[in-house]
Amino acid sequence: MGKDGSGAGAESSVRAVKPPPDRLYGRARGHKLRPRQERLLDVTLPRLAIPDPLPNGRLWLEVGFCGGEHALAQVRSNPDATLIACEVFENGICSLLSALVPGGEEADAPLPANLHLWTNDARLLLRSLPDACIDRLFLLFPDPWPKARHAKRRFVHPGVLPLLARVMKPGAEWRVASDDPTYQGWVRDVMAAQAFSPWPNPSLSARRGGHRRATR
Asked whether the whole model's pTM tops 0.75, one would answer yes
Interval 183-203 mean pLDDT: 72
In a domain, 197, yes or no: yes
Q: Provide the pLDDT confidence category of residue 147 given band limits of 50, 70 and 90.
A: confident
Q: What SS3 state is found at 43?
A: helix
Q: Are 119 and 96 in contact, with CB atoms under 8 Å apart? A: no
> One-letter amino acid identity for 47?
R
pLDDT in the model for residue 19? 55
In a domain, 198, yes or no: yes
> CA–CA separation, 122 vs 184, rounded Å?
21
pLDDT in the model for residue 16? 57
Domain count, the chain: 1
Residue of 108, 121, 131, 143 marked catalytic? 143
Q: What digits encode the pLDDT tens for the residues 40-91? A: 999 999 999 999 999 999 999 999 999 999 999 999 999 999 999 999 999 9
In a domain, 37, yes or no: no
In a domain, 205, yes or no: yes
Domain containing 124 equals 10-19+58-88+114-215
pLDDT in the model for residue 149? 82
Interval 22-33 mean pLDDT: 64
Q: Which residues contact 118 (CB under 8 A, 6 or more apart)?
A: 50, 84, 85, 86, 87, 125
Question: What mean pLDDT, rounded, does the chain reach?
Answer: 84
Q: What percent of the chain has pLDDT over 70?
A: 76
CATH number of the domain encompassing residue 14? 3.40.50.150
In a domain, 52, yes or no: no
In a domain, 45, yes or no: no
In a domain, 38, yes or no: no
Q: Provide the pLDDT confidence category of residue 177 given band limits of 50, 70 and 90.
A: very high
C-alpha distance across the termini of the chain, in Å: 28
> One-letter amino acid identity for 87?
E
Contacts 24+ apart (CB under 8 A), 154-158: 154/24, 154/183, 154/186, 155/24, 155/63, 155/64, 155/122, 156/183, 156/186, 156/187, 156/190, 156/191, 157/17, 157/20, 157/190, 158/14, 158/15, 158/17, 158/190, 158/193, 158/194
Can you name the residues that pair with 86 across neighbouring β-strands?
A: 63, 118
In a domain, 162, yes or no: yes
214 CB neighbour count, 10 Å cutoff: 22
* 180 is an active site residue: no
